Structures are given as C-alpha cells and as structure tokens.
Amino acid sequence: MNTSNRIFLYKRYERFWHWSQALLVISMLVTGFEVHGTYHLFGFEKAVNLHTIFAWTLLTLWAFTIFWQFTTGEWRQYIPTLKKVDAMVRYYTFGIFRDAPNPFHKTAEKKHNPLQRLAYLALLSMLSPVIWGSGLFYLFYSHWKSWGVDAYLSLEAVALVHTAGAFMMLVFFIAHVYLTTTGHTPLAHIKTMITGWEEAD
Amino acid sequence: MLLRFSSLLSAAAAYVLLAAAPAYATAAAKPEAMIAPQAQAVGKPVSASTADHSKFKELQKNFTSGPQVTEACLVCHTEAAKQVQHTKHWTWESTDPKTGQVRGKKNIINNYCTSPVSNEKDCMACHAGYGWKDDKFDFKVEKNVDCLICHDTTGTYRKLPGYAGHPVLKRVEFPHGSGRFVEPADLKKVAQSIGMPSRSNCGSCHFFGAGGNGAKHGDLDSSLQHPGKYLDVHMDEKGLNFTCVTCHATSSHQVSGSRYNVAAVVEGPAHIRGKKDESPASCQSCHSDKPHHDKMGMLNQHTDKLACQTCHIPQYARNEIGTEASWDWSLATTMGPDGKPMVRKDSAGRRAFDSKKGTWVWDSYVIPEYRWYNGVSTYKVIGDKIDPSKTVQINEVGGGPNDPDSRIWPLKVHRGKQPYDKVNNYLTVQHTAGEDHTALWHNYDWQKAIGAGMKAAKLPYSGEYGFVDTEMTWPITHMVAPKHDALSCAQCHSKNGRLQGIEGVYLPSRDNNKWLDMFGWTLVLLSLIGVLVHGSLRIYTSKKKG
C-alpha cells in the first residue's frame, strides 16, 4: 500500500469518543422511546434507569471531549463555512449519481466537508441544548420548586420538547449512517472511523 | 324468629373479642415493648404503668353499672370525661375546619346503615358513652362517658346493640336465637385491669363498622388483630407490632387522624420530638416527604403528586374477610319463597341478602379507585337536597390536579341504593332497629319505618319514597404493604395502568402528544424513504455505467 495516499484523520481519543457516543446515543434512543411508551423492551422502570445512566455517562464523555477539543485545537473543525456548500449540495443531489468527483478533499486540518460542518454545528448548538436542557429538567423534576421554576414549566411541555429532540436525533442518526456509505467504497468512511486512516482517492 | 339487629356484627364482634382474649398478654405488652424492647422478657410481661389499678381503693367495689365505674375513674382522672366529651368518639359530630360543614355520624347519612337517628339503642353499642337512646341524651353528664370500651384489657367488656351503649351485665343469648351466649363482664376486674387502648379496643368498633367484619372500611377488619407482615408492615405481630395508637397518637383524648379531616398532603422532614405535630397519624410524620433511598432519586419525585398510600397499599381488604362493595337497600323487605324473612350468604360465608337489609356484594384483594383528593370531603347531611336522576354522592372528595394541596389518593368507592323522599328530594332517615311496630327489621314496612325515622329526624316526609343510586368514598390508608409489594412503576406508567383515568398530570409512557408523535414518525419515515431512494439511485446509476 502506498503510504503517501493515506492520511491520518482521527486520533485514538476521537475514535473512542465517536464510537462510545454512538453506542450511547443508540441506547438512549432505544430506552428513551420505551419510556415514551412506544414499545416494551426492558420494562418501564429499567428503561428509565438505563436512560438515566446513559445520560450521565454521555455527559461525562462530553466533559472529557470538550476538554480534548480545546486542548488539541480540534474545535476549529466545527467552525462553519458557506464556501463550497452549494457545490456539496450539487454533488449529493446530482454529481454522486454521475460519478462526478467529490468537490471536497479531506485533510487532517479539514476533516469535515462544509455540509458536515453545518450539520454538526447545528447538532451541537441547536439540537443538543434542546435535548439536554429538556432532559435535565425532566431528570431534576423534584427540584423545580426549590429552583423557583415550577410556575413556568410543566412536565408535559418538557417531555414534549424532549421527545421532539429525540425525533430529530433519530432523523440525524438515519442520515448520518446513510452518508457513511458515500465514500469511495460503501464502507470506506466506517473503516476510517475505526482505524483513523483515510485512503485518499 | 325475629333476629336481633346486626346479628352479623355481633357474631363477628363476638369472634374478635373472644379471639382477642387469650392474646391479651401480648396486647397489653405492646406499649412498653415500644419503649423498651428488652423489657419483653419471657413469661408474663410487666406493665410499664406506674400505677397498679388493682391497688386503688376506689376500684375495690362491686360495680353494677358502667357509669359507676366512670365515677370511680373520675375521682383521680378529674378531667378525663371533659376531654372525651370534646372528641368525636363522644359527640359523633365534626365540623370541617375549611368548609364549616357540620358532619359526623350524628348528622350525615352514610351508605351503609344510613343514620343512627331513631336507631340509637342499637347504634350506640359503638358510642363511647352510656345511655344515648334518643335525642334527649345529655352530652354534659360526665359519668356517662364510657372509659372501659377503650381501656379494658381483659377482652371481657362487651357492648351489644339494643342497650344504648351499656355493657352486657347479664348473661344473654346473642345473636338472639343463635344458642350462643355472651357472658357479663366483671366490672370490678375490668376496672382494675385498664390499660392503653390495644388493637382489640379500637377494633371492637372500627373493624366491624356497617355491621360486619371489614364491611365498611376495607382497610380495617379483624385480620389486623394478628396481622402478618404481608397484611400490614407496621402492625406485623412478629415485627414492628404497632397498635392503632402508635400512629393515631392521642393528646387529651383527642385521637389524631380522621377521615373527616384527612391530612391529604404533609410536606417536610420527619417529625422529631418536641416539634408541634399537626398530623402525627400521617406516613410523613415518621417517614418525611422524601422517604426513598433509591440512587436515582426518582421515587421521591412522586411525592408532589401522589399520596404514599397510592403505591404502598396496592390492594385493600387483602384477605378472605373482604369488604362490602355495595349495599342495595331497595331489596329489603323482600321475603323468601315461604313468605318469611330470609338470609343468604355468599360462597365465602359473607352476608349476601337479608330481608331486613337488602343485598350486598363483597370483594377481597380490592384494587382501589384513584382520585385527586385534598382531604376535604363534603357530606350529604340529613335534609340535604339530592338530584335523584343522578348517582347521589354521599360524600364528594375535594381537590384536583391544579390544587397544590391535593394528591392522587387510593379510595374505596362503596356503591348503594337508598330510600329517598320523592317529593322533597332528600335521602330519608328510617327507623330500622328496634322491637316496635314501626321498626323496619321488625315489621318489614318501609312506609312506617321512614315515617318514624323522619319524625325522629324532625324532617317533613311526603309519604312517597323511592330508591336512588348512591356512592360513598373512603380514603384508603391502612394495610400498608411491605415495600416489595408496593406498586411497580409500570403499573401506572403504561397505557392501561392504574392511573388511566387520572387527569391533569403528564405520566410518561401513559401520555403522549399524538400530533408530535405523528409528525415525528412521519419525519423519520420520510428520512428512511429519502436515504433508500438516494441509495437505490446511486446503485442504479453506478450499475448503468459499470
């Protein structure tokens, strides 16, 4: 294998973060929709307890990850850009069916294409606060009174916002998993996320 | 041939008192066991009292009546009778501090035996007094307070229907015609053996309300005489062995905790010694409003919406004794095939039909009904107007989801059918018990019985009666189960759970917003279709080129 065609994209911590987060998000979707009453799997009580444990685990993971993002400077990967966004949109709607080249070329400095950047930023800045905000209020229901927020919140409203967030997360999950198949081979992106190495075209 | 009033009550009462007698050694030991468990030595327990009443010269007399004993008690306990005279046990009356409504046995019409008015001679077997036989009873006479019914520890002191609250002083066949006899109490011995009220003292009336074991409350019956842990985690004879007054702490003879003024909400920490305690009979007075130690802290979140009883009394009447689910008076006076009064029992041996009283339906291991409740019940008092086209609520429980003083409570709902005045539109008072020609249970004539009852109640009677559906609700608070028998989460957190009918609260798993769900799942479906179409197109176009 020609090593010059390979670039190292994802460091060990980043890969650990990604996959453990993936596992936690999937688990939280599964247990969360059971708490919502969509199906029976673990039983309500166990589902609630698991969902709560996963939530705290994910928060802990995030604490480490935020630290990692800033100490490594990797946070810059999420700075949004509108440059080439139109080209990316054209690629995914037309080019991809005509074997046109991907207008974006990954480098260690720019791992995410402009659409990805926007999507991840939206996930982080919009969906995340919705889910975590509502989730923590949900979890700390018994403290509402002492916090003085019981007059402004209802469990129903909080639960509805949280459920709406869950649907959005599920939609993100579907799109995200599908887009992993759009590399030069269907499993190329997955492989990269596991090994850290990207095979350049 | 005419059976005496409440033969079942008395049979059952006889059972409990006789059954209780041999157990009195342990019963008497209960209060001291609470204070000093090590004192519960082998052999005869020593009383914790500082006074041996058998040594008092006032009690060295051959008493011939209840009031004589009370006079002797009052020589030392100078204020006792005055104190009792301020309690519901004496007045049979209670004023709601919030609504001002005057209720109490004397004033309301309940869903069982209806009203004691005109039936005092029988009903007052459960009055803590002597001689209340009609509306001329003097509530100020101190010697008529009955100390012994609550303080007897011998189990031999019996009060039977028909004596206006006086004890059995002559050997008497009871129930009449049964061949069973009740022995008179030796009042001297009883007076010398008094002690703190035990389960059998309270139970002799409260286990047998409505004239049958367990009939009225459902969470109180003679099984609490010797309960196991399964039936009542606190009263468990081999465990904590609480008596009634362990929780229903008394002060100046005022017994705390009453269904007339329920402490539906108690907040804050457990109560410590020295603190003024408004509701010592509540769960929270010992357990606080944050009683659970679960790591997730989820269970304590429930105390702002639920009464403790809702989860911790998963069923009431958890035994074969059971409780009455309904009492239909409209079939009373129906005679047997031979034209004579008849009595029929259900397969468990509980009263099912009696020509005197109508029909009953019993139930055991009953799942409560659940409602918002703020502790305030508004009762139908004698003479209150009713709407006969609807089910008459004998008492309406107050509160609702938006009332911070309400919690979701388990309730027994007792259904019935009662006579009412069709012209004046109120429930009637009927003269049921007695040996005279107007008593329903003597002559089986509704018209005469209602006429006499209404006269005693000083209410006009039109002469036309009918029967109306009625409902009475009872908060369930006894027979607290061990924690492992408490409701599990999914028993309410599910689509068809226990709290199915409770409104005003969002219950995860039971509730969802159908629009949000529809929108959400549509979005998920569209995403899936989107990626499938996109993927298929990619495969199709690459094959075409390939």
Mean pLDDT of A129-152: 94
pLDDT per residue as tens digits for the range B190-213 = 999 999 999 999 999 999 999 999
Candidates B267, B524, B526, partner chain A, best to mutate (most A CBs within 10 A): B524
pLDDT per residue as tens digits for the range A4-37 = 578 999 999 999 999 999 999 999 999 999 999 9
For residue B13, what pLDDT is reported? 43
Out of A48, A156, A164, the one facing B506 most closely (by C-beta) is: A156
A12 min Cα distance to partner chain B (Å): 30
For residue B41, what pLDDT is reported? 40
Candidates A171, A177, A181, A182, partner chain B, best to mutate (most B CBs within 10 A): A171
pLDDT per residue as tens digits for the range B446-494 = 999 999 999 999 999 999 999 999 999 999 999 999 999 999 999 999 9
**Residue type, position B452, single letter:** A
Q: Which residues of chain B have a CB within 8 Å of the CB of A174?
A: 524, 527-528, 531
> Residue B45 — pLDDT band, cuts 50, 70, 90?
low
A73 min Cα distance to partner chain B (Å): 33
Count of CB pairs separated by less than 8 Å, A with B? 88
For residue B8, what pLDDT is reported? 43
For residue B279, what pLDDT is reported? 76
Give yes or no for residue B505 having a pLDDT over 90: yes
φ/ψ (deg, to 5) at B255 = -90, 125
CB half-sphere exposure, B97, CA atoms < 13 A: 5
B520 with A164: Cβ contact below 8 A: yes
For residue A200, what pLDDT is reported? 67
For residue B9, what pLDDT is reported? 43
Residue B197's nearest CA partner among B239, B238, B149 is B149
pLDDT per residue as tens digits for the range A63-97 = 999 999 999 999 999 998 888 899 999 999 999 99
The domains of chain A are located at 3-199
pLDDT above 70 coverage of chain A, percent: 97
Q: Which residues of B touch A (CB under 8 A)?
A: 296-298, 300-301, 304, 488-490, 493-495, 505-506, 508-513, 516-517, 519-521, 523-524, 527-528, 530-531, 534-535, 537-538, 541-542, 545
For residue A42, what pLDDT is reported? 97
Give yes or no for residue A201 having a pLDDT over 60: no
Candidates B289, B296, B492, partner chain A, best to mutate (most A CBs within 10 A): B296
Out of B296, B509, B527, the one facing A36 most closely (by C-beta) is: B509
B301 min Cα distance to partner chain A (Å): 5
Alpha-carbon distances, residue B21 vs A16, B193, B264 (angstroms): 73, 13, 36
Instruction: Give B415 or B1, the one with higher predicted confidence.
Output: B415
CB half-sphere exposure, A177, CA atoms < 13 A: 15
The strand pair at A197-199 and B94-95 is best described as: unpaired
Give yes or no for residue B22 having a pLDDT over 50: no
A155 with B489: Cβ contact below 8 A: no
User: Who's near B306: CB < 8 A, 6+ residues apart?
Assistant: B407, B408
For tokens 């995030």, the residue is A62
Give yes or no for residue B7 having a pLDDT over 80: no
For residue A4, what pLDDT is reported? 59
Q: Average pLDDT, whole number, for chain B? A: 90
For residue B320, what pLDDT is reported? 94
pLDDT per residue as tens digits for the range B75-121 = 999 999 999 999 999 999 999 998 999 999 999 999 999 999 999 99
One DSSP character per residue, chain A reads --GGGEEE-S-HHHHHHHHHHHHHHHHHHHHHHHHTTS--SS-HHHHHHHHHHHHHHHHHHHHHHHHHHHHHTGGGGG----TTHHHHHHHHHTGGGGTPPPS----SS--S-HHHHHHHHHIIIIIHHHHHHHHHHHHTGGGHHHHT-TTT--HHHHHHHHHHHHHHHHHHHHHHHHHGGGSSSTTHHHHHHHHSEEE--
Mean pLDDT of B283-297: 88
Mean pLDDT of A155-159: 96
Instruction: Please name the CATH architecture into which domain A3-199 falls.
Output: Up-down Bundle (1.20)
Q: Which residues of chain B have a CB within 8 Å of the CB of A175?
A: 527, 530-531
Residue B453's nearest CA partner among B469, B441, B438 is B438
For residue A90, what pLDDT is reported? 93
A96 with B538: Cβ contact below 8 A: yes
Mean pLDDT of B42-58: 81
pLDDT per residue as tens digits for the range B412-439 = 999 999 999 999 999 999 999 998 999 9
Mean pLDDT of B523-528: 98
A37 with B490: Cβ contact below 8 A: no
Q: Which residues of A touch B (CB under 8 A)?
A: 34-37, 43-45, 48-49, 52, 96-99, 141-142, 145, 154-156, 159-160, 163-164, 166-167, 170-171, 174-175, 178, 181-182
For residue B14, what pLDDT is reported? 42
ipTM over 0.90: yes
For residue A133, what pLDDT is reported? 97
pLDDT above 90 coverage of chain B, percent: 83
Q: Where are the alpha helices (DSSP H) in B179-243?
A: 187-192, 199-206
Residues counted in chain A: 201
For residue B44, what pLDDT is reported? 52
The answer to which of A191-195, B2-6, B527-531 has the lowest mean pLDDT is B2-6
A35 with B508: Cβ contact below 8 A: yes
pLDDT per residue as tens digits for the range B335-390 = 999 999 999 999 999 999 999 999 999 999 999 999 999 999 999 999 999 999 99
Give yes or no for residue B3 having a pLDDT over 90: no
For residue B277, what pLDDT is reported? 73
Mean pLDDT of B174-197: 94
Contacts 24+ apart (CB under 8 A), B338-343: B340/B1, B341/B1, B341/B2, B341/B3, B341/B444, B343/B3
pLDDT per residue as tens digits for the range B249-260 = 999 999 999 888
Alpha-carbon torsion angle B238, B240, B243, B248, nearest 10 = -160
Mean pLDDT of A129-155: 94
A35 with B304: Cβ contact below 8 A: no
> Residue A99 — pLDDT band, cuts 50, 70, 90?
confident
β-partners of residue B466 are: B420
